[in-house]
Structure 1
Amino acid sequence: MLVILDRDGVINEDRTDFVKTPDELVFIDGALSAISRLNKAGHTVVIATNQSCIGRGIITTDTLTIIHQKLTKSLKAAGGWVDQIFFAPDAPWEATNMRKPGDGMMKAALNQFGAKPSNTVVIGDSLRDLQAAASSGCHRCLVQTGKGVKTQKEGLPRDILPVAVAASLSEAVDFIEAGRFQ
């Protein structure tokens, strides 16, 4: 199975002022071990993350690379890895289809790994994550970390249902291991 993860609010704490340095990348409890569990079960794991802080001129692509190096090193220490990190640097006012809710990153991941949407789950904490997943035909799981509780309280539009709801990435992995997205 291909598992596509949002980053901010799913793997690491979401910040209203963006993750601008490696020190600001603070992992949510259990997230790294959850990714390691996916790896050990043989799943392909990718990250698809909007990074408008680049398009806004707040950080550079080089800084994002350094932040992601911390992520990959921390994952390695936890016995895990990601197979690819896709990011959309677009500012919201210059959004391409790569920026969620566009499905460009989902389609790129599906294409790169030869996966079928019916065998792919997208795990995110925002409506735009779920919209991108629905648009590309992938299974959808909302985590209640990050913006997840707020997203759930605001209500989920019918056109993106069904959506599984998990307390955390760890519980979402429990759902995958139980065969919920088959």
Structure 2
Amino acid sequence: MLINKWGIDNTWTLFLDRDGVINERIFGGYVTKISEFVFLENSVQAIATLSNFFGLTFVVTNQQGIGKGIMTEGNLLDIHTYMCNEIVKNGGMINKCFFASNLIGDENDFRKPKPKMGELAKFEFPKVNFERSLMVGDTDTDIEFGKNLGMRTVRIKTEEPIGIEADLTVSSLFELSKIFFYEV
């Protein structure tokens, strides 16, 4: 379906939101330390599978807990190091984690849905082509981010109301990985 329909191959880039896609989201709060970071069921295995189909894989995440002083950039880097190490141990790859620590409305706002994290990924990895990229997220902000850059979009279904339609909706990152695995 997707591989054939969209022509996905290893020249494509995968962009993943973090909270609610890779790990459990803390509603009304923030993951501020490794002990609070809980992988969603089968998300590590899903990333390992998806890593076989995409040339690059990035995490793009809004983390205004830093801007609010609830956590430090060092805390976030520790969490991302742990996350990436677990993914690599299981055969997956995250090439880089991009994050926006701004508060909503800050003058230099890098937060999704603004395209700046995607533009930074393209600057650091020039082979990124947004028309050959897939954004996977669980919120309208994620889907709008992908659409703003001309990416294909996949929504992880949650209880949140949907305001912006994605190209595809699935129940989990694992379900998306099964679509890829069984299509080959």
Q: TM-score range by the shorter chain?
A: 0.7 to 0.9
2:42, 2:174 within 8 Å by CA — same for their partners in 1? yes
Residue in structure 1 matched with residue 121 of structure 2 by the alignment: 109
Q: 1:59 to 1:124 in 2, by over 3 A?
A: same
2:17, 2:142 within 8 Å by CA — same for their partners in 1? yes
Between the two proteins, the alignment pairs up a number of residues equal to: 170
SS at match of 2:111: coil
Q: CA deviation at 1:174?
A: 3.6
TM-score normalised by the chain length of structure 2: 0.84
Q: CA deviation at 1:38?
A: 1.9
Q: CA deviation at 1:81?
A: 2.0
2:140, 2:162 within 8 Å by CA — same for their partners in 1? no
Q: CA deviation at 1:39?
A: 2.0
Residue in structure 1 matched with residue 16 of structure 2 by the alignment: 5
Q: 1:168 to 1:117 in 2, by over 3 A?
A: same
Residue in structure 1 matched with residue 7 of structure 2 by the alignment: none
Q: CA deviation at 1:73?
A: 1.8
Task: Give the whole-Å Cα distance in 1 for the aligned partners of 2:179 and 2:123.
Answer: 24
The alignment status of 1:38 with 2:50, answered yes or no, reads yes
1:96, 1:102 within 8 Å by CA — same for their partners in 2? no
Amino acid paired to 1:14:
R
Q: CA deviation at 1:163?
A: 2.3
TM-score normalised by the chain length of structure 1: 0.85
Residue in structure 1 matched with residue 175 of structure 2 by the alignment: 171
Q: 1:107 to 1:90 in 2, by over 3 A?
A: same
Amino acid paired to 1:121:
L
Task: Give the whole-Å Cα distance in 2 for the aligned partners of 1:75 and 1:20.
Answer: 19
- Structure 2 unaligned segments of length 5 or more: list them: 1-11
SS at match of 1:52: coil
1:2, 1:121 within 8 Å by CA — same for their partners in 2? yes
Identity %: 26
* Aligned ranges 1:22-101 → 2 under 5 Å: 22-94=34-106, 96-101=108-113
Residue in structure 2 matched with residue 139 of structure 1 by the alignment: 152
Stretches (4+) displaced over 3 A: 174-179
Amino acid paired to 1:10:
V
